[in-house]
Amino acid sequence: MPIDLSHDPAVSELAKRTAEFVRGVVVPEEKAYGGVTARGGDEMRVRLQQAARDAGVFVPHVSPEYGGHGLDMRGRAPVFEEAGYSLFGPLALNIAAPDEGNMHMLEAIATAEQKERYLRPLATGEVRSCFAMTEPAPGAGSDPSSLRTRAEKAPGGWRIDGRKWFITGADGAAYAICMARTSGEPGDRGGATMFLVDADNPGMKIVRHVETLDESLYGGHCEMVFDGCVVSEEAVLGEVDKGFDYAQVRLGPARTTHCMRWLGIARHAQDIAVARAADRRLFGSRLAELGMIQAMIADNEIDIAASRALTLQACWELDQGRSGAQSTAVAKTFTAEAVWRVVDRSLQICGSLGVSGDILLSRFLREVRPFRIYDGPSETHRWAIARRVVRRHLG
């Protein structure tokens, strides 16, 4: 049976326009600015997102009803990869974490009223959001069932109490999607519920910014406290006690779109390294003519191609309505490690220039390292992958 890996012409055209936009508009901004604090708050986000609207490449993943192109997972792959060629590209297209994953989930499970109140302003770039699930140890982390934040029935709604940490994008977010336990005890596989909590709720507070290696995400990674945080019945997202099930609606696709975006950075790193190797002369020849350098360039190409293929396989399964649990875990684990290898080799090829701040590779290295931990560390995914394989063997 023939296998066609080509994309729909409309998707290919959108990917081409995205590449032109990112290289022509976004990359110069990336070179001019440092980390989050150097970008002048939200001004750059608003400006780049307006430029993406003008270029017709904004929010490619949401349905046309909310201003997007309605791409399925497989269609997102080349577009997100082109956006990811710059650290600022996903922000410009409004496909950066955590907003992209939140849009995906809200479109799938929110009520019509919730979509108008929370999804539409998020999709238009009017607001940002965050997803509050991770907790300090011994709470929910790699094992979400360890969830300790609790929501109890209160007059007119629910009262949420607990502590969250490493909540990406929390500072400046208009609302949080908070995961809280509504039944059972920590360790139970069920009993969680998602709540939409507005930023002006006096019971939800940001305690601090967690200092991290990466700096490319607006709003940082924050520690938050929910202390007597009262929300209405209308704040429940989906059904009570079904939160862990709904999380899978978000997590599988979000892991896969992370792979797409970071593949763009890997390609950018490879391009920088190849240009340097072709230009730099040492020991009487170009770097690119030395066997050891050629091996690193070739290994980068292999890692990029293999990551792309695994990501597309996961996308195809998700588009077919399958759970994609195994394929997304495989793609995420391999791609997270492959992207690190590509950026690391590229930096090595560039030598002292790569370590310096004169080119982007040192920033890329800091940004991609946490990907082996975010959305589940490689070790957790390997454990889950092996467990599924053994389960199939045992029948």
User: Per-residue pLDDT tens for 79-111?
Assistant: 999 999 999 999 999 999 999 999 999 999 999
98 with 129: CB under 8 angstroms?
yes
Q: Which residues of 75-98 are buried (b: 16+ CB within 10 A; e: fewer)?
A: bbbbbbbbbbbbbbbbbbbbbbbb
- My answer on whether 109 and 136 are in the same domain is no
Give the pLDDT band (50/70/90) at residue 31.
Answer: confident
Q: What percent of the chain has pLDDT over 70?
A: 97
198 Cβ contact list (under 8 Å, min separation 6): 174, 175
Q: What is the pTM of this model?
A: 0.95
User: Is 382 part of any domain?
Assistant: yes
Tokens at 305, concatenated:
């191609």
Q: What mean pLDDT is predicted for residues 214-234?
A: 93
Q: How far, in Å, CA of 37 to CA of 108, rounded?
A: 34
Tokens at 344, concatenated:
């690391």
Report pLDDT for 366. Answer: 95
User: Is 100 part of any domain?
Assistant: yes
**Is residue 267 predicted with pLDDT exceeding 70?**
yes
Give the pLDDT band (50/70/90) at residue 193.
Answer: very high
User: Is 141 part of any domain?
Assistant: yes
Question: Which CATH number characterizes residue 319's domain?
Answer: 1.20.140.10
Q: Which of 21-35, 216-230, 345-359 shows the lowest per-residue confidence on average (mean pLDDT)?
A: 21-35
- My answer on whether 138 and 276 are in the same domain is no
Domain that holds residue 16: 9-123
**Is residue 385 predicted with pLDDT exceeding 60?**
yes
> Minimal CA–CA distance to 119: which of 135, 132, 101?
101
Domain end, chosen from 88, 123, 158, is at 123
- My answer on whether 96 and 220 are in the same domain is no
Averaged confidence pLDDT in the chain: 94
**Is residue 294 predicted with pLDDT exceeding 90?**
yes
Give the pLDDT band (50/70/90) at residue 41.
Answer: low
Q: Residues 301-358: pLDDT tens digits?
A: 999 999 999 999 999 999 999 999 999 999 999 999 999 999 999 999 999 999 999 9
Give the pLDDT band (50/70/90) at residue 39.
Answer: very low
Q: What mean pLDDT is predicted for residues 35-40?
A: 47
Written as one string, the DSSP assignment of 146-159 is G---EEEEETTEEE
Domain end, chosen from 237, 255, 280, is at 237
**Is residue 40 predicted with pLDDT exceeding 90?**
no
Give the pLDDT band (50/70/90) at residue 37.
Answer: very low
User: Is 3 part of any domain?
Assistant: no
User: Is 4 part of any domain?
Assistant: no
Tokens 């019945």 map to which residue? 233
Q: Which residue has the higher pLDDT, 39 or 43?
A: 43
Q: How far, in Å, CA of 255 to CA of 251, rounded?
A: 6
Q: What mean pLDDT is predicted for residues 271-280?
A: 97
**Is residue 1 predicted with pLDDT exceeding 60?**
no
Q: 3-state DSSP call for residue 10? A: helix
**Is residue 38 predicted with pLDDT exceeding 70?**
no
148 Cβ contact list (under 8 Å, min separation 6): 135, 138, 139, 140, 162, 181, 186
Domain end, chosen from 211, 237, 263, is at 237
**Is residue 36 predicted with pLDDT exceeding 60?**
no
Written as one string, the DSSP assignment of 49-66 is HHHHHHHT-S-TTS-GGG
- My answer on whether 202 and 233 are in the same domain is yes
- My answer on whether 220 and 102 are in the same domain is no
User: Is 186 part of any domain?
Assistant: yes
- My answer on whether 207 and 292 are in the same domain is no
Side-chain-side CA neighbours of residue 242 (13 Å): 8
Report pLDDT for 268. Answer: 98
User: Is 386 part of any domain?
Assistant: yes
Q: How far, in Å, CA of 53 to CA of 93, rounded?
A: 8
- My answer on whether 109 and 171 are in the same domain is no
| Distance of alpha carbon 339 from the chain centroid | 14
Q: What mean pLDDT is predicted for residues 226-243?
A: 97
Question: Which CATH number characterizes residue 215's domain?
Answer: 2.40.110.10
- My answer on whether 179 and 253 are in the same domain is no
Question: Which CATH number characterizes residue 80's domain?
Answer: 1.10.540.10
Report pLDDT for 3. Answer: 57
Give the pLDDT band (50/70/90) at residue 282.
Answer: confident
- My answer on whether 271 and 370 are in the same domain is yes
**Is residue 256 predicted with pLDDT exceeding 50?**
yes
- My answer on whether 60 and 93 are in the same domain is yes
User: Is 67 part of any domain?
Assistant: yes
**How far is the CA of 265 from the CAs of 75, 86, 101, 260, 302, in angstroms?**
19, 6, 19, 9, 15
Q: Which residue has the higher pLDDT, 382 or 35?
A: 382
Q: How far, in Å, CA of 315 to CA of 41, rounded?
A: 34
**How far is the CA of 7 from the CAs of 3, 11, 278, 288, 312, in angstroms?**
12, 6, 32, 33, 11
Domains contained in the chain, number: 3
Angle between helices 378-394 and 325-350 (to 10 degrees): 140
- My answer on whether 161 and 231 are in the same domain is yes
- My answer on whether 58 and 139 are in the same domain is no
Written as one string, the DSSP assignment of 49-114 is HHHHHHHT-S-TTS-GGGTS----HHHHHHHHHHHTTSTTHHHHHT--TTHHHHHHHHHHH--HHH
Angle between helices 243-279 and 361-368 (to 10 degrees): 160
